[in-house]
Amino acid sequence: SPDAAGQTFQGVEPTATVRNADDGSALATFTPPRLGTETALVVIEIYLRNGAWKARAVGQGYANGLAGIATD
């Protein structure tokens, strides 16, 4: 998060890539839509459900920094 430095994600294209642990191949990628005044960002969520790991694309930005994530 650029929150502490007072910067934003404007003009940045953060891409999350989920890779196979065995061979490093890409299983999925996600780049959130164009960003602006966001200072904190959740690109993906990784979680365990019914014994299987899952990844969900989120792409949620917060203009109020990490406090926005903490209170969401």
pLDDT at residue number 4:
58
Domain count within the chain: 1
Mean pLDDT of 25-36: 90
Task: Work out the pLDDT band at 2, boundaries 50, 70, 90.
Answer: low
pLDDT at residue number 65:
87
pLDDT at residue number 22:
96
Residue owning tokens 């780049």: 31
Q: Are 35 and 12 in contact (CB under 8 A)?
A: yes
Q: What is the rounded CA–CA span in Å between residue 11 and residue 33? A: 11
Contacts of 42 (CB under 8 A, 6+ apart): 58, 59, 60, 69
pLDDT surpassing 70 at residue 3: no
Whether the full predicted model's pTM is greater than 0.85, yes or no, is no
Share the mean pLDDT of the chain.
88
Domain range for 26: 3-71
Q: What is the rounded CA–CA span in Å between residue 34 and residue 53? A: 28
